[in-house]
Structure 1
Amino acid sequence: MTTPHHHWTLDVHPSELRVLTNGYQSWSEAELRPLTETQTRASLEWMIDQGQDPAFPPSGEAGVWRSHSLLALIRPGGGGWVGAQLDAAHTFAHWEVRAAGEQVLVTCTLEGPDVAVAWEETSNVIGTVERLSAQLGQSMHARTPAPLRVWCSWYSYYRSVTLDNMLDNARLAKQHGLPFDVFQLDDGFQADLGDWTEPSEQFGGHAKDLPAELRKLGFRAGLWLAPFLVGPNSKLFAAHPDWLLKNRSGTPLLFGHNWGGQYAALDTTHPEVLVWLRELAATCRAWGYDYLKVDFLYAASHPGVRHDPSVSRAEAYRRGIQALREGLGDDGFLLGCGAPLSASIGVMDAMRTGPDVAPYWDDEARRMLLGDGSVPCSRNALHTALSRWYQQTWYQPDPDVMIARRERSLLSDDERGALLGMLDVIGGLRASSDPVEMLDEAGLSLLRQSLEISTPDRPLTLTESHGGAVTHFSRGTFNLQETPADRVQPHSYRPNPT
């Protein structure tokens, strides 16, 4: 379901312009690059499924850039053009800019009902991006509650987390006076994707046992879910194949690659699925979780055959997250991840705005050889989150966790400093996943710094970049490259003099 193209022809040579793109979902690359370069398309289908938009992936052609919701073209003086959709609740906006000889061609295709689209020439691209983004947030009644400070289990325990791990870290955090608001239990507590109320064998308890113990220690309880995913060996898959997104042959569609293989997705145009999602969120709330991190949300908008074929992908996604909001309650805190970004405004309190951080700088082989810019690593998290600075008017941004520990980490001091700088510049949520017992005094001090709430910063310029992203901010400069640049060391952040 698409409406006709909007299209513009610019009489400017492509070599004069940089392009600012916004990827489809949380992990999809956002970049600031010369227009004549090539946007990378992932080489494997499952990487496109999990990191790009299967319905509108990068073309892989030189001089052709695709962006979602918003696009900016920047001239050497800081002026240029900005395009943005002005309502995203039911419609995906697919922007494409193409170098065409001595001209530049821009198109915007709307997937879903027709909505207003802004296209403005401006002398100040940064200001216009921020103004149009704020207009979108306001029109969709963005939720931007106070940012929270969160400890989560994922980046240390992964799927091997236990109930004792959670409580041991909460006790140590209280002992050290660490100012966390929420302790969030991540993936690993459940029997399978979809079977959320049944415990895994290794967890050593049940997720419902945790909130009361955390409350005794003075912390709120948070829980991770991938509510739209269904494991092919789960009880939910066997009981309700009619609830699942289908392929053209009418069988459940399997896609992506995680948890050892592919997974299915709930069809959020099916009325019974929406009831189930509401009840799932309400059950978690009844257990004592008023904070949910809901992950892999792009599954609800994956291309496929739906129960109601008249519903757009964006609308299908929106119905799913609204059902979760209704079940959790308006006063609950909902953090999205792996989520179509602008379609989440007004429902999500906070949103991951980049790929996962990791205790190492780069996964260069997967990023460079396979074209996967969404692969977890600290470099990719900075690259994309910094290039989405303007989204703080859509929700509280979540640039992901600080890794302060030295054990079980390959990050250098400069790289940890770059993570700290990212958190300060982006603002929003603060999070950690370090086992508290691993932190020495220096580690505890770095962690405390990372938990200090800050106001979001603004770029100084979009005409320069140290690494294909927005790197020059009023508070300091990042260098994501392998060599020094402008007196900033590789993989580091240099604060500006105050």
Structure 2
Amino acid sequence: MCLISAAANQVKPNLRPRYQWCSWYEFENNYTQQHLDDFIAGLKSIQPPVPVEMIQIDDGYSERGDWLIENSKFPKGIRYMIDTIRKAGYKAGIWVAPFMVSSKSKVYQEHPEWLLRDVYGQPIREFNSAEGDMYVLDTSHPEAFEHIQKVFRTFREWGVTYYKTDFMDWGLRDRTKVKRFRNDETSVQHFVRVLRMIRQEIGPESFWLACISPYSPFIGLADAVRFSNDVGPGWNDGSQGNLIQEGMACHYFQHVFWQNDPDTIFLRDVNSGLNSRLTPDEVYTIAFFDAMIGGFITTSDRFHKIPSGYLALWRFVQPGNTQLSCRFPFWAENRALKVAVRDYPGNGTWAVLVVNPSSRAFHETFRVKDLLGIEKAWFFDWKPGENTPLGCLQELSLTLTPHQSKLFYVGKNNTPPPADMGLFGIKIKGLKKTENTKTGT
């Protein structure tokens, strides 16, 4: 059914996995041009180079709604910000919440007729924050529609080729509960008209990630969709726990409708003074899990500030040029430990990841036949740049502490993984044994 729907909506199924950086999860909306300059200089200083493809600026460069008008954090302008990224040799990305309007914006102050209203005629306020009250843009108003159209058209002219659109569900409203400027379309018809306009304006060459989005209207339009809650700097069931749960539940349409986006990987050290409460076990678990499901690989950490072991981990999860995902052999079973298996093409080898998302320790035993379809295989405990042989096993038996994971390289023959091999099966420059970031045993 997914394949039929994807074909009917002309999905582009062969896009390579993303390997990129986003500004949000360290400085959030306090990010500045100086931060960007410092980040690029630090990134360029690392040898061997870190092959990040794209740098995306998140919320904070403008008042929400005034997407083309810079604020004091980018005094040389938004286009200068974009040019800084492109001249450094990276693709430029931008965050936009097309249906969001701040009470501090010029759109709010100069065009109150552009705001979506409730059935009593009052502007709909979604929430209040330090950035002002947040209202909803009524894109059924022709001028409001043209405003958003101009935003995406201009960003494309300025060289942006990656778009992260957020709070997209604000544009899909029950028509019986709102008062639009135009009311001659169903809610879905209107919403899809806006989405098609965005896709047309950013062009087929651009990559589009949709966040906080209803799924079905984006099939054939978005290149990626966030499937879980935002992750945070400390483990909880609503962030990292939700990521693992939804990552498994949504895996059936990975690389069918789009690339699934699991949000960011935290690489900062818990003792660095930066905002992090993740243990090394938790850092490795999320990095390994994100890489195994085979879509986005994203971080917000400054590579020249993270421990060398975590830099090796980032290199280890670098995707190749082709899609490579995993399967969940016990997907339908309610097991405490979650298992993902990656089949490396053509050579009788696999990656096996076992994850404990729980807050208590668990012990389980798995038959190799249930994992791989063969009676026995050679197992190696696998980390970036190193491995430990475990012998030829018919059963894999292990105990994992809370939020811990174990990654294994497995083969039909007693041949360990090459020291320069990453989790996506490609050769990686700069893999070293981990330092100061050892995981539990």
CA deviation vs aligned residue, 1:333-361 (integer Å, no higher than 9, x gap) = 21111111221111111121211121110
Percent identity, please.
27
The equivalent residue for 1:328 is: 202
- Secondary structure of 2:155's counterpart equals helix
The one-letter code of the counterpart of 1:494 is K
Q: Aligned match of 2:246 in 384, 387, 398? A: 384
Answering whether residue 396 of structure 2 is matched by residue 396 of structure 1, we say no
CA deviation vs aligned residue, 1:18-55 (integer Å, no higher than 9, x gap) = xxxxxxxxxxxxxxxxxxxxxxxxxxxxxxxxxxxxxx
| Cα distance change, pair 260–382 in 1 and its aligned pair in 2 (3 A) | farther
Per the TM alignment, residue 204 of structure 1 is displaced from its structure 2 partner at its CA by 4.0
The equivalent residue for 2:357 is: 480
Per the TM alignment, residue 256 of structure 1 is displaced from its structure 2 partner at its CA by 3.9
Per the TM alignment, residue 310 of structure 1 is displaced from its structure 2 partner at its CA by 4.2
Please tell me whether the aligned partners of residues 417 and 493 of structure 1 are also in contact (alpha carbons under 8 angstroms): yes
Question: Between Structure 1 and Structure 2, whose CA radius of gyration is higher?
Answer: 2
The equivalent residue for 1:17 is: none
4+ long deviations beyond 6 Å: none
Which runs of no fewer than 5 residues in structure 1 stay unpaired? 1-131, 365-372
Aligned residue runs from structure 1 range 411-426, under 5 A: 411-426=278-293
Please tell me whether the aligned partners of residues 74 and 81 of structure 2 are also in contact (alpha carbons under 8 angstroms): no
| Cα distance change, pair 482–286 in 1 and its aligned pair in 2 (3 A) | same
Per the TM alignment, residue 243 of structure 1 is displaced from its structure 2 partner at its CA by 2.1
The equivalent residue for 1:83 is: none
The equivalent residue for 2:93 is: 222
Aligned residue runs from structure 1 range 429-468, under 5 A: 429-453=296-320, 455-466=324-335
The equivalent residue for 1:309 is: 183
| Cα distance change, pair 478–262 in 1 and its aligned pair in 2 (3 A) | farther
CA deviation vs aligned residue, 1:201-239 (integer Å, no higher than 9, x gap) = 233432210232222321111111111101123210122
Aligned residue runs from structure 1 range 163-202, under 5 A: 163-176=33-46, 177-190=49-62, 192-202=63-73
Instruction: Output the CA distance in 2 between the equivalents of 1:492 and 1:306.
Output: 50
Per the TM alignment, residue 271 of structure 1 is displaced from its structure 2 partner at its CA by 3.0
| Cα distance change, pair 447–204 in 1 and its aligned pair in 2 (3 A) | farther
- Secondary structure of 1:459's counterpart equals coil
Per the TM alignment, residue 258 of structure 1 is displaced from its structure 2 partner at its CA by 4.8
The equivalent residue for 2:232 is: 358
The one-letter code of the counterpart of 1:388 is C
Answering whether residue 138 of structure 2 is matched by residue 264 of structure 1, we say no
- Secondary structure of 1:184's counterpart equals strand
Instruction: Output the CA distance in 2 between the equivalents of 1:284 and 1:203.
Output: 16
TM-score by length of 2: 0.75
Instruction: Output the CA distance in 2 between the equivalents of 1:451 and 1:237.
Output: 43
- Secondary structure of 1:472's counterpart equals strand
Instruction: Output the CA distance in 2 between the equivalents of 1:148 and 1:258.
Output: 32
The one-letter code of the counterpart of 2:12 is R
The one-letter code of the counterpart of 2:197 is A
CA deviation vs aligned residue, 1:368-391 (integer Å, no higher than 9, x gap) = xxxxx4xxx333333323321122
Answering whether residue 113 of structure 2 is matched by residue 242 of structure 1, we say yes
The equivalent residue for 1:162 is: 32
CA deviation vs aligned residue, 1:100-132 (integer Å, no higher than 9, x gap) = xxxxxxxxxxxxxxxxxxxxxxxxxxxxxxxx2
Instruction: Output the CA distance in 1 between the equivalents of 2:314 and 2:180.
Output: 45
- Secondary structure of 2:260's counterpart equals strand
Which runs of no fewer than 5 residues in structure 2 stay unpaired? 342-351, 365-398, 411-441
Per the TM alignment, residue 296 of structure 1 is displaced from its structure 2 partner at its CA by 1.1
CA deviation vs aligned residue, 1:59-86 (integer Å, no higher than 9, x gap) = xxxxxxxxxxxxxxxxxxxxxxxxxxxx
CA deviation vs aligned residue, 1:227-280 (integer Å, no higher than 9, x gap) = 110112321012222222210111211124555664211223333332222211
| Cα distance change, pair 463–396 in 1 and its aligned pair in 2 (3 A) | closer
CA deviation vs aligned residue, 1:129-174 (integer Å, no higher than 9, x gap) = xxx2222222211234222211111001111101121122122223
The equivalent residue for 1:490 is: 402
Task: Indicate the RMSD between aligned Cα atoms, in angstroms.
Answer: 2.1
Instruction: Output the CA distance in 2 between the equivalents of 1:456 and 1:317.
Output: 31
TM-score by length of 1: 0.66
Q: Aligned match of 1:211 in 82, 86, 97? A: 82
The one-letter code of the counterpart of 2:221 is V
The equivalent residue for 1:278 is: 149
Per the TM alignment, residue 466 of structure 1 is displaced from its structure 2 partner at its CA by 4.9
Per the TM alignment, residue 461 of structure 1 is displaced from its structure 2 partner at its CA by 2.2
The equivalent residue for 1:31 is: none
Instruction: Output the CA distance in 1 between the equivalents of 2:234 and 2:300.
Output: 14
Please tell me whether the aligned partners of residues 426 and 456 of structure 1 are also in contact (alpha carbons under 8 angstroms): yes
The equivalent residue for 1:44 is: none
Between Structure 1 and Structure 2, how many residues are aligned? 352
- Secondary structure of 1:198's counterpart equals coil
Please tell me whether the aligned partners of residues 102 and 132 of structure 2 are also in contact (alpha carbons under 8 angstroms): no
- Secondary structure of 1:167's counterpart equals helix
Please tell me whether the aligned partners of residues 188 and 203 of structure 1 are also in contact (alpha carbons under 8 angstroms): no
| Cα distance change, pair 466–229 in 1 and its aligned pair in 2 (3 A) | farther
| Cα distance change, pair 206–450 in 1 and its aligned pair in 2 (3 A) | farther
Please tell me whether the aligned partners of residues 229 and 264 of structure 1 are also in contact (alpha carbons under 8 angstroms): yes
Instruction: Output the CA distance in 2 between the equivalents of 1:172 and 1:269.
Output: 45
